[in-house]
């Protein structure tokens, strides 16, 4: 058996794993740097309660997650919760609701540097190509980034800086 402190990657393929259970698990596995989830079981009505929970606040302060891959699209509120929980993120890959992509990216890029200072790469999976132009325009218009690269490959939009 491998000691928990040696584990660095967690992949959950389950469709029925509540977000609260993932947070509890992360309380005991502080060395994870990579987290991949297929689906989050999370109700928008529960977001505030989850964010105020003792487990969430503990994980928020202690986790080392640098790479986060979420295969399903979620709302702006859920993405806020995730970004706030994983403040050491360097790499974020996820699908996003088409209507909320700009709002989510604006939120992420507008975060004060001390709140999500390490994030340098976002991949938005399965998105329309028009999002490339829209995000590029948004970034320039609102001066969200000075030096960045944005590209579109096989229905995925990549943004790094």
- Residues 38-55: tens digit of each pLDDT: 888 888 889 999 999 999
- Has domain 4-160 been given CATH number 3.10.50? no
Over residues 129-157, mean pLDDT: 96
> β-pairing, 156-160 with 149-153?
antiparallel
Question: For residue 122, which phi and psi values (nearest 5 degrees)?
Answer: -130, 135
HSE, CB side, 13 Å, CA atoms: give it for residue 133: 3
> β-pairing, 34-37 with 9-12?
parallel
pLDDT tens, position by position, 19-39: 999 999 999 888 899 999 988
Tell me which DSSP letter residue 18 carries. Answer: B
Percentage above 70 pLDDT, the chain:
98
CB atoms inside a 10 Å sphere around CB 159: 22
pLDDT tens, position by position, 66-124: 999 999 888 999 999 999 999 899 999 999 999 999 999 999 998 775 577 899 999 99
Residue 139 has pLDDT above 90, yes or no: yes
Q: H or E stretch including 96?
A: strand 91-96
Spell out the residues 6+ positions from residue 50 whose beta carbon is closer than 8 angstroms to its own.
19, 20, 23, 42, 56, 81
CB atoms inside a 10 Å sphere around CB 112: 7
Q: H or E stretch including 117?
A: none
């Amino acid at each position: 058996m491998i000691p928990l402190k040696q584990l660095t990657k967690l992949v959950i393929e389950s469709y029925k794993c509540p977000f609260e259970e993932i947070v509890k698990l992360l309380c005991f596995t502080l060395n994870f740097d990579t987290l991949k989830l297929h689906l989050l079981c999370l109700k928008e009505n529960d977001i505030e309660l989850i964010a105020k929970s003792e487990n969430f606040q503990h994980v928020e302060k202690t986790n080392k997650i640098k790479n986060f891959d979420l295969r399903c699209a979620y709302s702006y509120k859920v993405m806020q919760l995730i970004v706030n929980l994983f403040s050491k993120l360097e790499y974020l890959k996820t699908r996003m609701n088409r209507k909320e992509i700009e709002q989510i990216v604006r939120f992420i890029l507008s975060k004060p540097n001390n709140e999500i200072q390490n994030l340098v790469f976002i991949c938005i999976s399965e998105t329309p190509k028009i999002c490339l132009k829209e995000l590029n325009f948004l970034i320039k218009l609102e001066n969200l980034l000075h030096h960045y690269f944005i590209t579109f490959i096989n229905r995925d939009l990549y943004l790094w800086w």
